[in-house]
Amino acid sequence: MVVAAAVLVPDAEPASPVTAVTPATLQPNDPYWRQSWSQAVLRMPEVWARSTGSPDVVIAMVDSGVNPAVADLAGALVPGWDFTRNDAVPRDAIGHGTQVASVIAARGNNGIGIAGYCWGCRLMPVRVTADGTATGPQIARGIYWAVDHGARIITIGLNSGSENNEARAAVGYARERGVLVIASAGNTGTDERRYPAGYEGALPVAAVNDSDALYFWSSRGNWVPLAAPGCQLVFDPWVGPGTQCGTSYTPAVVAGIAGLMLSLRPSLTPAEVEAVLRATAVPVQGINGGRINPLAALEAVAPTPAPPPTVPTLPAGGDPGITVPVPVPPATRELELGSGVIRSNLTRVVRVGAGRLDIHLRARGVVECQISLRTPAGQILLSLLPPGDSNLLSMSQRVKAGRHRIEIDCASSRRRAYTISISHVAAPKSAAAAKSR
């Protein structure tokens, strides 16, 4: 069976809307988008200044369907199909497909919710699972349908360790007809090849953190050419905006960027899109390629016209006084990466500065467990939804400085091997703090 990979933790409050726009950036007014560290790392405001996507580009999502009542997807959907009920109403019953859809195409700059990566593109929901699992033949039917109904890109956040000839043939069918298939590399933490990502013609995507290092739970190896940030801001139909982690979402990010590339240059073939994404990627250890670099990819397919030359006026002394800002990677600090055996509970206490606290737990049957975080002020934050992948539970939460208590509680007391990772990403220093140094 093929299993989805995701969990959700809602953010405590929306960020203040951003209205400032410079000629080089497009910062949407959606109230939550600034909570997406992934979109900051990928410099999406600069990317969106180049393109926010074309409605002529249709991205198909082979998953659990979509909730059409979500306002942030209004105007994004084209007709799809439900293979679990054999009808034209691919309505999402578990939330996973809607979350993936929001990563791809949540309408940006509409004053609500979040901003998808290709908010001007359109989305085709193809429902092949009602519970987060699907067989190879079910995925194959979804791929064939999407290709035959006009999709340019297909994203699949499901994966399995088993091969299937029908799914393999469907990926080949898509590639032959000019459709790019992007799929989850998996959450195994090993170099085990997963499917359908591992078939010839598919584009597997792994998961990295802010520092472009693979998450311990991400699949890896020479068969994986691309990675994307592994935790994404999503919109859940029951909870609202929140952060989810897992390789269910990394293909959605790459699909959104590929959609922007096709919006700027519709004649690109799947091979050309893949070649550009690989050639412009930031190197990542552990895979045969790197993390996507959207700005460089768009520049490669549609170069920005050179501005007219200007002659700077030199101040007294002849020093032009020009400084070139150098991007500084976020200060990611690994607090713990360990393993052992857990029965019903596990507790860790960490002292951190202001920033973001990431907790990742991998264990068999982790669907029975929940992460809670007690802040210095006594507030308790919970992982509200069960994980999409039964072996991975994550929490990504902005925190204030102080001593935080992390608790993992499981419904049953059976012994299970686990690996836990706790890391902290420091909040960026303010401009005033930078000047005082």
pLDDT of residue 332: 79
* pLDDT for res 291: 98
Q: Give the separation between CA 294 and CA 42, rounded to whole angstroms.
A: 7
DSSP 182-201: EEE--S-SS----BTTTSTT
pLDDT of residue 288: 97
pLDDT at 382: 86
Report whether 237 contacts 69 (CB < 8 A). Answer: yes
**Choosing from 248, 263, 383, 423, which is the catalytic residue?**
248
One of 11, 36, 38, 63 is an active-site residue; which one? 63
Q: What is the mean pLDDT of each run of 10 residues along the chain (437 residues)?
A: 49 45 78 94 96 98 96 97 97 94 97 97 97 94 98 96 96 98 96 97 97 96 98 90 91 98 97 97 97 97 74 44 46 88 92 93 89 93 74 89 95 91 84 39
> Does residue 63 have an active-site annotation?
yes
DSSP 6-36: ---EE-SSPPPP-----TT------TTGGG-
* pLDDT value at residue 244: 87
Q: Which domains does the chain have, with CATH numbers?
A: 2-301 (3.40.50.200), 332-429 (2.60.120.380)
Helix (H, G, I), strand (E, B) or coil at 316: coil
Catalytic one among 96, 360, 404, 424?
A: 96
Predicted TM-score (pTM) of this structure? 0.89
What pLDDT score does 1 carry?
52
Annotation marks residue 248 as catalytic: yes
CB 435: neighbour CB atoms within 10 A? 8
- pLDDT at res. 219: 97
Q: What distance lies between CA 73 and its chain's CA centroid?
A: 17
Cα separation, 225 vs 258, in Å, equals 15
